[in-house]
Amino acid sequence: EAQVTQNPRYLITVTGKKLTVTCSQNMNHEYMSWYRQDPGLGLRQIYYSMNVEVTDKGDVPEGYKVSRKEKRNFPLILESPSPNQTSLYFCASSLQDGSYGYTFGSGTRLTVV
Amino acid sequence: AQSVTQLDSHVSVSEGTPVLLRCNYSSSYSPSLFWYVQHPNKGLQLLLKYTSAATLVKGINGFEAEFKKSETSFHLTKPSAHMSDAAEYFCVVSVLSGGTSYGKLTFGQGTILTVHP
């Protein structure tokens, strides 16, 4: 089944403790990206990657890192999480230009206390 | 810069009546436009997309949208609402420049659709 898989689905952590949210896709998509969803703000793009070793900032990149060492994986790294990063996170992938639509993962609900 | 405005944060309809969710966009170049649906505690599912082909786009579950360049609109419609349509809907624009996407997606703030029996 073609899908984007995020792990974990739920995570509660403490301020300052580094964490990684994984994202993997099995569709051989070049493009992958991360979003956070907050009430009243919709989804905002954090980082995106057009292909392996090519990443760029979205609208809200502060406090996040990403890497794209393999085509299928695009982990989101929070080096020192803070409570304002409590949010629902989505990973998505698509063919290179995105014009055929984006496939989203099921989401990761992160709480930073 | 690109932007998307969903004109209603909440829309309430009765089952069997038409649905209209409004979306206006701003783009310096020819955009790709999408509608996504998110059911409670679920991920996002693509309803339909416009990518410079036919201006009237048909999607899944009876939804359709019309791209109107003169009005910079991409409103989502459905002739007859079902209870299962209750969800949050997002209009999305993809940034394009010179025919190459820069990969940035801009989401509207969402419209919550409530369907009454």
Which among A48, A103, A105 has CB closest to B104?
A48
Contacts of A96 in chain B (CB under 8 A): 101
Minimal Cα distance from B43: which residue of A?
Answer: A106
Asked whether A8 and A88 are in contact (CB, 8 A), the reply is no
CB-nearest partner of A31 from B45, B103, B108: B103
Mean pLDDT of chain A: 93
Q: Which residues in chain B touch residue A87, judged by CB atoms under 8 angstroms apart?
A: none
Q: What is the pLDDT of residues B42-97, one digit of tens each?
A: 889 999 998 777 889 999 999 999 999 899 999 999 999 999 999 999 999 886 55
Taking an 8 Å cut-off on Cβ atoms, the answer to whether A50 and B103 are in contact is: yes
**Residue-level pLDDT at B80:** 97
Per cent of chain A over pLDDT 70 is 96
Of all residues in chain A, the percent with pLDDT exceeding 90 is 76
Q: Look at residue B43 in the predicted model and tell me its pLDDT.
A: 86
Q: Is the predicted pLDDT of residue B98 greater than 50, yes or no? A: no
Q: Name the residue of chain A whose CA is nearest to B31's CA.
A: A99
Q: How confident is the model at residue B102 (pLDDT cuts 50, 70, 90)?
A: low
Tell me which of A110 and A102 has the higher pLDDT: A110
Using CB atoms within 10 Å of the CB of residue B103, give its burial: 0 to 12 exposed, 13 to 18 middle, 19+ buried.
Answer: buried
Average pLDDT over residues A86-104: 86
| Lowest-confidence segment of A52-56, A90-94, B24-28, B80-84 by average pLDDT | B24-28
d(CA A48, CA A92): 9
Residue A107's contacts (CB-CB under 8 Å, 6 or more residues apart) are: A6, A9, A37, A88, A89, A90, B43
Residues in chain A within 8 Å Cβ distance of B63? none
Chain A residues interacting with chain B (CB cutoff of 8 angstroms): 31, 33, 35, 40-45, 48-50, 56, 58-59, 90, 92, 96-107
| CA–CA distance, A38 with A60 (Å, rounded to integer) | 12
The residue ranking higher by pLDDT, B101 or B33, is: B33
For the stretch B4-21, pLDDT in tens is 999 999 999 999 999 999
> Which of A35, A98, A106 has its CB closest to that of B101?
A98
Closest CA to B36 of B92, B79, B86: B92
- Tell me the average pLDDT of chain B: 89
Interface probe with A: pick from B44, B52, B94, most Cβ of A within 10 Å? B44
**The pLDDT value given to residue B99:** 45
Tell me the pLDDT band of B103, cut-offs 50, 70 and 90. Answer: low
- Of the two residues A16 and A42, the one the predictor is more confident about is A16
Of A39, A21, A93, the C-alpha closest to B44 is: A93
Nearest to A67 by CA among A91, A42, A48: A48
> Residue B109: CA atoms inside 13 Å, Cβ hemisphere, count?
9
**CB nearest A58 (choices: B104, B109, B110):** B104
The arithmetic mean of pLDDT across residues A53-81, rounded, is 95
**Out of A42-46, B35-39, B62-66, least confident range:** A42-46
Contact list, B45 vs chain A (CB under 8 Å): 104
Token digits of residue A39: 């009430």
